[in-house]
Structure 1
Amino acid sequence: MAKLIILDRDGVINRDSDAYIKSLSEWEPYPDAIAAIAQLHQNGWTIAIATNQSGIGRGYYDTRTLEQIHCRLRSLVNEAGGEIAIIEYCPHLPADNCDCRKPRAGMLIRIRKSLNIPTLDGCWMVGDSLRDIQAGIAGGCRTALVLTGKGQRTRRELDEAYSDTWICDDLEAFSKRLLSLDV
């Protein structure tokens, strides 16, 4: 079984905004998220990111800006002693009905194929929205909801169908919980 954790970005790693994160100056990581990613990596977990970025399709920012943000994210994680193996993003609008936009599992499948992992069974999808959890389940992952970003609101949307989803205060709490089991 692969030790893979797929993270949503906005609301999990960094502060989210209903007005979108449109520039590097607007991108603000949560204080403990970078350290949590590094700690997970140092404990043998491969870290990937799957993020809906419809702001590109809406014309709010371009792929160059997105790459600047991801370059900064990778740099901070590397400085903390971690590594992000791959970042997948969906630039499409919800109306585009693409296969990659969460809640569909297209990005998760691309991550699995890129990392040459036969199955996502036992892997994790960590997000702050219902669509993150739905994508994880569709991809065959275990799921965790963090209460940062849209997580508090999403928690109220969860029903019995999501009873196996872990509820964690933030990415650091997820990391501690997972690593306490990972012996």
Structure 2
Amino acid sequence: MYGPLLDYILSIVDEKPRLPYLEVNTAVLEPKIWILHPWMLAKISYYDETFYLKYRNKLIECVRQEQKLMINGTLSPLIIKPKMFYRQNHVHKGIDQIDCEMMEKLLRQWNILVNIFDKKRADKLVDFLKKEWIMFKEYFTSHGSIRNSDRIFKDMFMKVWTNFFKELGVRVEEPSA
């Protein structure tokens, strides 16, 4: 129904189906772009190299479309669900190619989620995500595409990720006011 890649994911994933780990949203990103939480993608990729190679190619496609929508102002940050974001300065020659080496480094960061969290590591990962998002946001804001309050944007990002980690049972501090 959704194509070989998504069928493959669904065939090997058995992770709390009532939680929103897997979401297929064809209304936002066309055509039939699947959205899978990075925690699960990292977990599957950690054990299955074949899946990782397929996932990397599909992720490039998803990220390109998502970045175009955000930079064009057609996709509100408020409706974006937690997932990995890639800074626009990791794209070479417009949006033709994403630096795969950087993508692999970011995916390795997510392998930490396969392990048991302690507060120190959870804080480090949240800080990492915050820096990634802020750098991405600063890129397209500096180019005049979107004018948002920086504070509102950061607060929204941290709130979404804090809730995401809480759902996984990870204790993280609430974003400071």
Instruction: Verify same fold: TM over 0.5.
Output: no
Greater helix content: 2
- Give TM-score, length-normalised by structure 2: 0.32
Larger RCO, structures 1/2 (Cα 8 Å, 6+ apart): 1
